[in-house]
Chain A
Amino acid sequence: MIELAGVTKQYGEKVVVDDLTFTVRPGCVTGFLGPNGAGKSTTMRMMLGLDRATAGRVLIDGEPYARLKEPLRRIGALLDAKAMHGGRSAYDNLRCLALSNRIPLARVDEVLQEVGLGEVAKKRPKGFSLGMGQRLGIAAALLGDPEIVMLDEPVNGLDPEGIHWIRTLMKRLAAEGRTVFVSSHLMSEMALTADHLVVIGRGRLLADTGMQEFIDRNSRSSVRIRTPEPEKLRDALAAAGITATEQASGVFEVTEAPAERLGELALEHHVLLHELSPQHASLEEAFIALTGEAAEYRTGTSATATADAASSAGPDAPQTTGTES
C-alpha cells in the first residue's frame, strides 16, 4: 500500500506536483495516467525518496521510504530503463543490488530468466536495445520479490510480444495480492491492464476512480443511422419521441435508444436503412477531454486538435491515439 498525502514538488516558482493525495491499494493494478510532463515521474521518484517532496508525505506500508529496512524486498521500481550501469554485465548489475539488500543471489538468475534475459546475463547493458534495457529494469524491480511493484512507462520500447508479456505480468502480480502501480500516458494501454485509475494533469489530481466507473462515466455511446429516406425516418423517430441529430444529409446520430429499438422502429415504419451501427467514444477521447486543459506541453497545432477532440468527442470524432506531443 502506498499513501500520498498532500504531496507537492516545487522547483523555484514552478509547481510540478500539486497537493496530490491518493492511495494505491494491493490486489489490483493501479494505472497512473497523465500527459507527458504531468508530473508522473516526479511523483514516482518522490515515492522512492529520490526526490524530496516540498510538502506532504509518502508512506510505504505506513513508513517513509528512507526508513524501510532492505527496501528492495518491500517495493521494486522501474523508473527508467537506463538506471543501470552500462559497463557492468546485466547479471552483475543485479548482483550489486541484491547484495545491498541481502537478497539471495539465486534470485538474480531467476528474475533474469523471468524477463527473458537469461541468455544475455553476462552481456553489458550498454549494447542493449531499449526493450532489453526495459526488461532488465523490470528484473531489478522484481529482484526482491516485493509486495509493491512500481513501473514507470513499462511498455516504452517493448515490441508487441514484450507489451503482451508485461500486461500479463502486471495482472499476475496483482492477482497474487501485490500492489501494482504503473504509469502511462496512453489511456488505451491503461484500459487493457488497470483496475483502478489515478489521473493527473499539470501535477494535479484529476481523477481517482475505478476503471469500470471511468469507462461507464466517460464512454458515451450512440447509434449512427444512414438512410436514403431521411424524412420518413425523422417522422418515425418523432412519433416514438426520440430526438436525433442529423449530421449530414441522411445521416443521423441517436443517443437515446439502442440500435435494436431503432431497427424495430424502422421496420414498423418501413424505412429503408443503409446503416445502423452502434458507436463508442473512445476512452482516449475521454482522457484527452479530462486532461485537455491541464496538458502542459502542446504545440500550437496539437492544442487545436486536442480542443477539437474534447469539444466534439462524438462518434465522428477522429480516433486520436493519444500520443500528445
Chain B
Amino acid sequence: MSAPTATLRSEWAKLTTVRSTGWTLFAAFVVTVAFGTLVSALSNSDYDSLSEQEKLSFDAAGTSFTGGLLGQLAMIAFGVMVIGSEYSTGAIRSSLAAVPRRGVFYLSKVAVATGAALAVSLATTFATFFAGQAALGSHSTTLGAHNVLRATFGAALYMTLMAVFSMGVATMLRSSMLSMGILMPFFFLITQILASVPGAKKVAEYLPDQAGAAMVRVVPKSDLPYGAGGGFVIMLAWVAAALLGGYLVLRNRDA
C-alpha cells in the first residue's frame, strides 16, 4: 500500500505528461467561449425581433453559457481519455502493479483529474460569461445581478461533473472507444429525442444534461419540477452512480 500522496503525485504526473489532457481541456475552453460569444452576438443583433414575452424572459447569462453544449463534449472526451488511455495502452497493468490497492488508485486518479477539470471549467465559464456579455452589448447582465453568479458557478460545476461522470463510465466500460461511442450520441441526440417524446419526457427531465441545464439557468424553467439546487443534486447522484459502478468493475475484474 503506497501512500496516497505518492499516488496522487504519480497521477498528477500522468495527467500532465500526455497530450490528450492539454488538447481536450483546451478544446473545452475554446469551443465553449467561441460558441457562447457567437450565440451572444447573434442574440444581440436579433433581440429586436423577439416577442415581448421572449424579451421579458431573456436570460443574458444563460445565453453566454450556450457554448457549454458543445464544450461539454470536449469535457466528456477528457474524462473518458483520462481513464480509457490506461486500458487502451495496457498501462493499467503497470499502474495496478505499482498501486495494487485499486480503491486508492481510482480515487487518486479521479481526484486529480477532477481538480484539473474544475480549474479549467471555472476559467472557461467566467471567460465565456464576460465575452458573451460584451457581445450582448446593451442586453447584457452582470455577475452582481440576481442568481447570475450562482448560474456561473453552476455552469462550471456542470462541466466538471460531466467529466467526472465520464470517468466513471469509462472505468465501467474499460475502453475509450466504447465510452465515447456511448456518451457522445447519448448527450448529443438521445436526450433531445427522449425529451420530445411525450411519455419519455418525464424521465428525460432527470437525465444529467437536463439536470445540468437547470444548474445554469438564472430564471428557473416553470415546467421543470426542480430548480438549480435540485439539478445539482440530481447531477451528483448520476456522478456518484457512475463512479461507484466504475469502482465495482475495477475492484472485481481482472486487469
A92 to B10, CA, bound (A): 10
How many A-B residue contacts, CB cutoff 8 Å?
98
Known contacts A83-B91, A84-B90; A100 and B100 CB within 8 A of each other: no
Number of B residues, CB within 8 Å of A: 29
The yes or no answer to A96 lying at the interface (CB within 8 A) is yes
Q: Are B14 and A88 in contact (CB under 8 A)?
A: yes
Please name the 7 residue pairs, one residue from A and one from B, whose CB atoms are nearest each other, closest first.
Answer: A100-B10, A99-B10, A51-B254, A92-B17, A50-B255, A85-B91, A66-B100
Evaluate contact between A95 and B90: CB separation under 8 angstroms.
no
Min CB gap B71→A, angstroms: 23
Q: How far is the CA of A50 from the CA of B251 in the complex (A)?
A: 10
Q: Is the CB of A79 within 8 A of B93?
A: yes
Kindly state whether residue A67 has any CB partner on chain B within 8 Å: yes
Contact status B254-A96, CB under 8 Å? no
A102 lies within 8 A of B97 (CB): no
A97:B20 contact, CB within 8 angstroms: no
Is A80 among interface residues, defined by CB-CB distance under 8 A? Answer: yes
Residue of A at shortest CB range from B94?
A83
> Are B17's CB and A50's CB within 8 A?
no
Inter-chain contact A85/B18, CB cutoff 8 Å: yes
**Contact status A96-B20, CB under 8 Å:** no
Contact across chains for B255 and A51 when beta carbons are under 8 A apart? yes
Contact present for A101 and B254 (CB under 8 Å): no
> Which residues of A49-106 have CB atoms within 8 Å of chain B's CB atoms?
49-52, 65-72, 77, 79-80, 82-89, 92-93, 95-97, 99-102
Give CA–CA (A71, B105) in the complex, Å: 14
Interface residues of B in 4-21 (CB under 8 A from A): 6-7, 9-10, 13-14, 17-20
Whether B97 pairs with A48 at a CB distance below 8 angstroms is: yes
Known: A50-B255, A100-B98. 10 other contacts (CB 8 A): A48-B100, A49-B96, A65-B100, A66-B100, A72-B97, A80-B93, A85-B14, A88-B18, A100-B7, A102-B3
Q: Which of A51, A67, A101 contacts B98 (CB 8 A)?
A: A101
Q: A50-B97, A68-B100 are in contact. Are A82 and B90 (CB under 8 A)?
A: yes
A-B contacts, 16 listed (Cβ < 8 Å)? A49-B97, A51-B255, A52-B254, A65-B100, A66-B101, A68-B1, A68-B100, A71-B2, A72-B98, A84-B91, A84-B94, A87-B20, A92-B17, A95-B17, A100-B7, A102-B3
For residue B111, CB closer than 8 A to chain A, the reply is no
Q: Are B100 and A83 in contact (CB under 8 A)?
A: no
**Residue numbers in A under 8 Å from B255 (CB-CB):** 45, 50-51
